[in-house]
Chain A
Amino acid sequence: MDSAILSLLGAFLLSIMGLFVFIWSMRKGLLVENPRAASIIFAPGELGKVDDPAIPGNAQERLPGAVAGPGEGEHLVDPDELRSRIEADHSSAFPVFMFIAFACFWLVLGSLAGLTASLKLHMPDWLVGEAWQTFGRIRTVHLTAVLYGWITNAALGVIIWLLPRLLRTHLVGAMWVMLGGALINTGIASAIGAIGSGWTDGMEYLEIPWQIGIFIVAGFICIIVPVLYTLVNRKVESLYVSVWYMVAALLWIALLFIIGKLPGVHTGVQQATTNWWYGHNVLGLWFTPISVGAIYYFLPKIIGRPVRSYNLSILGFWTLAFFYGQVGGHHLIGGPIPGWLSTLSIVQSMMMIIPVTAFTINMFSTMWGRMHMARQSPTLRFMMFGGFMYMLSSLQGSLEALRSVNQVAHFTHFTVAHAHLGAYAFVTMVLFGAIYFMLPRVLHWEWPYPRLITLQFWLAVVGISIYFVGLSIGGWLQGLAMLDASRPFMESVAVTIPYLQWRSVGGSLMVLSHLIFVGHFLAMALRFGPTRTGAALFTRPANALELSHGK
């Protein structure tokens, strides 16, 4: 039989199976709301209490009364629960600090490389004397440093910090996790050196030479095994939704990387489909679930109110898991790939609207009436911005997969703008927010200069806005010029120049915000600034200081 028909039949059967699984889940009672599962992140008595260690002390004291609903926030928080949380934080503090420190280093290096690459696109004769300075290498150094260096390290930090908390246990095998972190970062550093010197596997997102990839895979295994041990040693009954997202993402990225990098297996067109299967899944099955999982924890935690619908969040998880993995083919629409593959990817790209809508409805109704708190809480501000950008970037991605839109946007800077909307405005902003929340508990020290957090937020927001708006317009005009056969190709280049310059302006603001962020991190780690350790207090017993850091 025709293999195209066979594969369509296969997709149909799988969808039917998926439907049955779904019906089965509903029979298991998933249609009934489950507020207990949603409240698992709170200790008894903690509901209705604002929790953000990055809030300046005086603002924090004003807030709790303003947000507590009837019957909430009147009781003292159960000290036993808090003690177990302190233990959990204590067990993960050292590895988390290590991941965040590495992440900060790669963030600075990667964003400086990105700005250099951006400038080179409108100043083509700048820095061309040495091979490592050429656009093709600097751009790839940027990608490797921010994707694998910054986002992956920060994401691992968030996972390792959150899981013991959510599972109410201590992190098993912290030494192994740190060994894994060391291996991964050895791999990243070697990969950046290799790319700078011209040694690359030559595929987008898969540039890291596979020999170096062995370090990264070994590192991931050293992290996954302790995480699974921690998971089975849990002391909570049901798993909170963030755990679903994060553990699944860890398993996914390890397998994605291994399959994508298998040497000597992939060739020609099949290698291209594997390339984009990997390329899109790094975003879809690694960055996105980590960030969504982080929002599902931090956002309710800060405002002291459980997520509105726990089941909607689980629906979001499974639809993301099943649809996101198959969207990669939309990067090759019109290319020499089998037609059914493009169609499948376009369909699944549209299906991605389901998890995004589930997430958006859930977050919006959870936040309803408490959005004003973003004025005081830095973490909440980053999380809300990130969550909103998740909705925008995912919806934009679905539309971009449609043939009519893809025809214009494909091969242009429009795609680059979209990638930054996802990886920066969504993922990176969420990670910033998470780090602002986590580090005071990790280091037992407050952020020394709260104003810098505000400054960093606005620089990043204005920077990415200029970047995204400018480059999207430029990319769209570029695409239209390329499609018009009566206009010479060079017109599609000339039309982008002003927008490429705006991109450099936006990029400079983003780099500046990163320098402030990392400087602030260093000031905190080195114990600079005024001695403030008591900002996040709700209770004032003798061990108040310890307890506040445990929250």
Chain B
Amino acid sequence: MENEVKLAAGAMVALAVATAALVVMPYLQVRDIAPPEGLKPYSSAELRGRQVYISNGCVYCHSQQPRDRNLGPDAERGWGRASVPGDYFYDKPHLLGSMRTGPDLFNIGARQPSKDWHLGHLYQPRAYVPGSIMPSYPYMFEVKDAAELGDEIVKLPPGQTPPSKVVVARPEALDLVKYLQGMNHTYPVLPPTVQQATAATQPAPAIPLSPASAATPAP
């Protein structure tokens, strides 16, 4: 039996160490974190839009984690300051992403607030960004002869609308655009030293942050 016990016990200890480091420790560190003052909870339309973002797999090409200046020119590209754990307070599931086939979207709402641009860009990205390889999402829109009451007509660049038709956004496109417009994390967060200093006065303790997160607030 000695071998079996060694095998099972060793394997479990190895996994327990890894779990402690990558699951339990971050859990203990992050669980008491408070949302930054500038961060608002998602509205119900934004939450629906977030679900559209998830179910269509936007996360596989777009990250939501601007990096610090010493790791890349994310701030120069207008993607915003390096994110901090508090920014993700309301995120279930997290959408940090691992690819930048397209640009980072953490501050897309601040960078591109126009609803018309977003709707049209979802309908046909190449009408706005030549050379884009983002898929078009025609199934989030309807092409009709005439708009009905309450329809949201998409204002497309000349030549993009099918002749004598109108393109109308479906609810999922409208929700998704609400979510994207709400992606604005340009509010200031305190650098970690200040956070630690103020932690004594606050009920929730601030956590020590990585050097990458010690960013200055975006303009």
Contact = CB atoms under 8 A, between A and B. Distances in A.
Given A121-B101, A198-B55, A268-B94, A14 B89 contact: no
B25 A7 contact: yes
Interface in B1-42: 1, 3-4, 7-8, 10-12, 14-15, 17-23, 25-31, 33
Interface stretch (A68-76, A323-331, A375-383): A323-331
Nearest to B136: A128
A140 B57 contact: yes
B72 A482 contact: yes
B42 to A, nearest CB: 13
A328 B20 CA distance: 13
B98 A331 contact: yes
Interface in B85-109: 85, 87-89, 91-96, 98-103
A266 B26 CA distance: 10
Contacts of A533: none
Contact of B138 (A128, A199, A267, A482): A128
Given A271-B94, A275-B94, A334-B212, A318 B8 contact: no
B207 A335 contact: no
A252 interface: yes
Nearest to B31: A270
A18 to B, nearest CB: 9
Interface string A243-286: 11001100110011001000000111111111111000100010
Given A270-B27, A336-B65, A136 B94 contact: no
Contacts of A483: 72-73
Contacts of B19: 259, 277, 325
Contacts of B110: none
Contacts of A321: 10-11, 14-15
A490 B19 CA distance: 39
Contacts of B25: 3, 7, 338, 341
A203 B95 CA distance: 7
Contacts of B31: 270
Contact of B17 (A14, A121, A337): A14
Interface in A87-106: none
A232 interface: yes
B137 A136 contact: no
Contacts of B43: none
A143 B218 CA distance: 37
Contact of B72 (A3, A122, A128, A334): A334
Contact of A3 (B15, B29, B58, B95): B29
Interface of B: 1, 3-4, 7-8, 10-12, 14-15, 17-23, 25-31, 33, 54-61, 63, 65, 67-68, 71-73, 76-77, 82-85, 87-89, 91-96, 98-103, 125-126, 129-139, 207-213
22 contacts: A3-B25, A3-B208, A136-B59, A137-B55, A137-B57, A140-B57, A202-B93, A203-B93, A238-B3, A239-B3, A251-B8, A252-B11, A269-B30, A325-B14, A326-B22, A336-B83, A341-B25, A412-B99, A415-B98, A482-B100, A483-B72, A490-B130
Interface of A: 2-4, 7, 10-11, 14, 120-122, 124-125, 128-131, 134-137, 139-140, 198-204, 231-232, 238-239, 243-244, 247-248, 251-252, 255-256, 259, 266-277, 281, 285, 318, 321-322, 324-326, 328-329, 331-339, 341-342, 344-345, 407, 410-413, 415-416, 482-485, 489-490, 492-494, 497, 500
